Amino acid sequence: MQIVYLLLIVLMVIGIIGSVIPALPGASLILIAIIIWGFIKGSFAAISAPLIVTGIVLVLSIGVDLLAGYLGAKQAGASKWGQIGAIIGLIAGFLGLLPALPVGGPLLGILFGPLVGAIIGELIYRRDFAIAFKAGIGIVVGTVVGNLIQGVLAIAAVVFFLVNTWPQVFG
């Protein structure tokens, strides 16, 4: 049972990484690992508090992601065109469709795609490179800050799970 527990912790660590890196599953992997542990233990009573906390973290993560991107865009004066461009850039970057990034694959594409997409979207809408660049940076900064907050929330959920279950397994 200890090996399964450790494997689930590895899955949770992958969830923490996914909370920080866009387009990868994050808090949902942590929630899945806790649910699997509940099935293995045969009782959800022992993990009810970690399950509730992780559910709350999952909802907060989604809210933080949307709010951080929106606030970053709003602070930088981005239009809907910039936001749509950032989403398209994220998808294009993830799929490796950015011609400027022949190396680095999806990870660099996820980082630079929203910036390029937001700038292109703003250029189409406003035709002013300085404003477009500022909006693109604002969207990217908002997204990065949101992802860092999601990472902290994910770490908190995993630590809470470990504090509540580690003594049952190894104590």
Give the pLDDT score at 7.
Answer: 96
Q: Please check whether residue 140 is in contact with residue 72, taking contact to mean a CB–CB distance below 8 angstroms.
A: yes
Domain boundaries, the chain: 2-170
Can you tell me which residue has the tokens 């397994």? 169
Give the pLDDT score at 6.
Answer: 95
Spatial CB neighbours of 141, under 8 Å, sequence gap ≥ 6? 72, 76
Answering whether pTM is above 0.85, one says no
Give the pLDDT score at 45.
Answer: 75
Of 59, 16, 9, residue with least CA distance to 34: 9
CA dihedral of 143, 145, 146, 151, whole degrees rounded to 10: 120
Q: Which residues of the chain have pLDDT under 70?
A: 23, 46, 98-107
Give the pLDDT score at 21.
Answer: 80
